[in-house]
């Protein structure tokens, strides 16, 4: 006679979500966070320029004591990447949680019949 392993969490409640959909939802949240980080980085890369504007360059060559400020976009890259990742992962996490909750509702067990 084969030995059947009992899972205490799974056997305690019939509507517990299986591990596969939970891992899939976790992977989807990670992927959404990665894409959000890439989008945030790309937006700053398109908008931020480390070279001074053309007018400031002209002023630096024409005006004696004017110095065109050097600008670094590294902090903006980091901030936009982090904010994009957090926003996208949080949104995907909410959707994943709602989907997992809906999965448990679909698997509702039928009511037990009384023994009469």
pLDDT band at 65 (very low <50, low <70, confident <90, very high): confident
Domain count, the chain: 1
Residue 84 in any domain: the answer is yes
Residue 90 in any domain: the answer is yes
Residue 30 in any domain: the answer is no
Residue 67 in any domain: the answer is no
Q: How many residues are listed for the chain in this entry? A: 116
CB proximity list for 51: less than 8 A, separation 6 or greater:
57
Q: How many CA atoms does the CB half-sphere of 82 hold within 13 Å?
A: 6
Residue 79 in any domain: the answer is yes
Q: Please give the pLDDT value at position 104.
A: 80
pLDDT band at 111 (very low <50, low <70, confident <90, very high): low
SS3 50: coil
pTM for this prediction: 0.69
Q: Where are the alpha helices (DSSP H) in the chain?
A: 8-12, 19-47, 54-62, 74-106
Q: Where is pLDDT greater, at 51 or 80?
A: 80
> pLDDT tens across 14-53, in order?
667 788 889 999 999 999 999 999 999 999 999 888 777 7
Could you list the residue range(s) of the whole structural domain that residue 89 is in? 72-100
pLDDT band at 79 (very low <50, low <70, confident <90, very high): very high
Residue 115 in any domain: the answer is no
SS3 22: helix
Of 79, 83, 100, the closest CA to residue 28 belongs to 100
CB 40 within 8 A of CB 85: yes
Residue 83 in any domain: the answer is yes
CB 73 within 8 A of CB 52: no
CB 60 within 8 A of CB 113: no
Residue 91 in any domain: the answer is yes
């Amino acid at each position: 006679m084969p030995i059947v392993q009992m899972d205490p969490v799974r056997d305690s409640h019939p509507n517990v979500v299986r591990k596969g959909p939970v891992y899939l939802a976790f992977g989807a949240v990670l992927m959404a966070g990665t894409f959000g980080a890439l989008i945030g980085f790309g937006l700053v890369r398109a908008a931020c320029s480390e070279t001074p504007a053309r007018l400031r360059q002209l002023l630096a060559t024409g005006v004696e004591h004017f110095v065109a400020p050097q600008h670094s976009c590294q902090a903006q890259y980091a901030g936009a990447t982090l904010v994009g990742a957090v926003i996208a992962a949080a949104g995907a996490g909410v959707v994943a949680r709602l989907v997992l909750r809906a999965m448990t509702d679909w698997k509702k067990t039928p009511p037990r019949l009384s023994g009469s």
